[in-house]
Amino acid sequence: MISSFCLSQQKEEFRLVKNYYNQHRSMLNNEFKKKFDAESNILKKDAIKGDFLFFMKKMDSIENTALIGALLRVRNIEDIKTLKLTEGNTQDLGDKSANVEKVADYPGGMNTLRQEVAGLLYVDGVNSDLKTVKTDVVFIVEKDGSISNVHAQGDNFTFNRQAEIALYSIAEKFSLALVKGDPARFRFRIPLTLTMTD
């Protein structure tokens, strides 16, 4: 009866949601553990464990709904900021052909990023009749290493949404892209594939 804890260092909205649900998971874990440890009947212990797993699965679903709300809030804020930007402020956006001395990179590289995103995906939130779903996630690595403007482009809307939430929830910041020795915004793209299991 152990819950995993994953804290986002990217967006405050996602960090707050994750902290809230992780705190409640911890409290519930403790209460179920007390009840489990106090019970001597093995059948009742199994029932308690089953109730715990069912309850945690429901909590995951509720947390996912809250994360979708956070995604909408972040998107709205980013869209408003984009509308306020002048063209002159967007020219430093990393174009791999334009004077980029060093591209942005995730600590541990692309495989580490893919593994972390895979671990953060809420697979139960993906609805698909197909066994394999794909998406390309495009985002901006900002001058401080955080990410913004995450947009997944694939045929499955629910997978796109879960991929966006997972990217916003990654634990580490990127190393900075450099243009003429100065930190620069950098457009990043990562293709993702999910194979559904029965």
Residue pLDDT, tens place only, 123-173: 999 999 999 999 999 999 988 899 999 999 999 999 999 999 999 999 889
Residue 99 φ/ψ region, left for φ over 0, alpha for ψ in the -120 to 50 degree band, beta for the rest:
left
What are the strands of the beta sheet with 182-184, ordered from one edge? 100-102, 177-179, 182-184
Question: According to the model, what pLDDT value does residue 78 have?
Answer: 83
Amino acid making up residue 136: D
By C-alpha distance, which of 143, 141, 163, 133 is closest to 151? 163
The model scores a pTM over 0.85: no
Q: pLDDT higher for 80 or 39?
A: 39
Question: According to the model, what pLDDT value does residue 91 have?
Answer: 45
| 12 pLDDT more than 60 | yes
Instruction: Take residue 26 and report the two structure tokens written for it.
Output: 């911890």
Instruction: Take residue 130 and report the two structure tokens written for it.
Output: 């197909």
| 44 pLDDT more than 80 | yes
Question: According to the model, what pLDDT value does residue 77 have?
Answer: 83
pLDDT tens-digit profile of 62-94?
999 999 999 988 888 888 877 776 444 544 454
Question: According to the model, what pLDDT value does residue 85 have?
Answer: 65
